[in-house]
Amino acid sequence: MTKSFTLAEYLQNLEFLVNIDSGSYTPAGTKKVMEFFQEKFNLLGWNTEIHKTSDKVGPCLQISNCPDEEYDVLLLGHMDTVFPEGTAAKRPYAIDKRAKVTGAGVSDMKGCLLMTYFALKELDQSKKLAGKRICFLLNSDEEIGSLYSRTLIKALAKKSSYALVVEAARPTGDMVNSRSGIASCDLTATGIAAHAGVNPQDGSSAINELAAWILKLHALSNYELGTSINVGIINGGSARNVVAEQAQAQVDIRFKQHSEFERISTALHELEQQSFTAGGAKITCNTILNRPPMNPSPQTLKLCKNISDLGKSLDIDFNWVATGGGSDGNYCAALGIPTVDGLGPVGGGGHSVHEWLDANSVKPRLNLLIKTIEFITNSPVK
């Protein structure tokens, strides 16, 4: 099906991209990745617009084949990784005899961005996008919750009929139509310091208060409903022999339904009104909703069925699954935009030293993405 695509060229470009450090807080690196794609799309004659959202992160790149303010399809991907500077040198691009590609950000999600470029290039050069309106947004801070770019993402989503998130397909080859909502909560415990041996009764331990909260927070999880609370980082105190005057914790909250987030928020507020430690140690919490849940609408489920049928026509079998991880698709789905995720090549091990991408899956998934864009722009889901 593909004409201009060759796996050799894809892998050569992928090596260049993977060997760039582009962590969320490495703006020079994400800018370098952005410039790579800007040059590629400029050569196709597409419009490119740079959005600087914060000095703390690199710029975003908005790419479109038309000057229109509305789009048939919005494609979403991110240029940033979770890794610190120096990771690319320690864990550079590599490929083994089984065509398993490794390296920082190889599947999350540089290989996905690159596949999307080749898909759009193929559609463009075969004149299949004539009269169609496509937008491709490359985000630079997705791994930190799209903290600075979410306003731009929402604005583009509101102008788009459909959203396709080109994150990697699951290791099984499955795609994603449901993602958890994500919230973060920072706990600050304040107590009264005292000598742990001379007059401990005069103190009130911030650590003890934090410990009481941790037990109560984990008890709020409801795995059957997809609600989980994890206290991921704790610290506090000043010395072994001092009743702790301060302590902190960072909490991750995941939920499938917004009503569960409201339940957790109410519980946190109620806990703030109490003290579980003699002497009155207290905790205040700062809760931020990072991403709303991504739940499939009836129109999204119809689109999933259509994509599954397209996959079968290409001898690609997969299922649709839910995942606890978030993506920029969460914002689109919450606005009522039919949104599907995981349309990139098959990969896994994201956020770890074991990250990989299956090079043998690139061409089949490229063809499926092409078919999907063609289908949506020619016969929108009713």
Domain boundary among 257, 276, 291: 291
Rounded Cα distance between 176 and 170, Å, is: 8
Identify the bridge partners of residue 248 per DSSP, sorted by sequence position. 188, 235
Q: Are residues 111 and 17 part of one domain?
A: yes
Which one of the listed residues 21, 108, 124, 142 is annotated catalytic? 142
Per residue in 236-253, is it b (16+ CB within 10 Å) or e — as a string? bbeeeebbbbbbebebbb
Contact 21, 83 (CB under 8 A): yes
Is 328 contained in some domain? yes
Domain around 311: 7-180+294-378
pLDDT at 4 over 80: no
268: domain CATH number is 3.30.70.360
CA distance 320 to 333: 16
To the query of whether residue 142 is one of the catalytic residues in this protein, the response is yes
Q: What is the pLDDT of residue 69?
A: 81
Looking at the structure, tell me whether residues 277 and 186 fall in a common domain: yes
The pTM of this model reads 0.93
> Residue 158's closest CA among 94, 262, 69, 252?
69
Residues 245-271 have pLDDT tens digits of 999 999 999 999 999 999 999 999 999
Q: Is residue 2 part of a domain?
A: no
Per the structure, the count of domains in the chain is 2
Helix axes 362-378, 111-125, angle to 10 degrees: 50
* 381 band by pLDDT with thresholds 50, 70 and 90: low
* Domain limit, last residue, from 291, 316, 338: 291
87 shares its domain with 216: no
Res 203 pLDDT > 60 = yes
Q: Is the pLDDT of residue 380 over 70?
A: no
**Does 115 sit behind a cis peptide bond, omega within 30 degrees of 0 on the bond before it?**
no
Tokens of 255: 């939920």
Which of 219, 214, 216 lies closest to 233, judged by CA?
214
What confidence score (pLDDT) does residue 3 get? 57
Per-residue pLDDT at 224: 95
Tens digits of residue pLDDT in 85-111: 999 999 999 999 999 999 999 999 999
pLDDT of 2 > 60? The answer is: no
The better pLDDT of the pair 2, 243 is held by 243
Average pLDDT, integer, range 276-294: 97
Kindly state whether residues 37 and 140 are assigned to the same domain: yes
- Token pair 């009155």 in the structure block, residue: 280
Please give the structure tokens belonging to residue 74. 């919005």
Q: What percent of the chain has a predicted confidence (pLDDT) above 90?
A: 97
CATH number for 20: 3.40.630.10
pLDDT band at 68 (very low <50, low <70, confident <90, very high): confident
Q: Which of 244, 264, 291 is the last residue of a domain?
A: 291
Do the domain assignments include residue 1? no
- Three-state SS string over 255-275 comes to ECCHHHHHHHHHHHHHHHCCC
Catalytic residue among 21, 72, 80, 124: 80
**Pick from 130, 103, 118: nearest CA to 43:** 118
Catalytic site includes residue 374: no
User: Could you report the per-residue pLDDT of 127-179, keeping only the tens digit for each?
Assistant: 999 999 999 999 999 999 999 999 999 999 999 999 999 999 999 999 999 99
* Average pLDDT score over the chain: 96
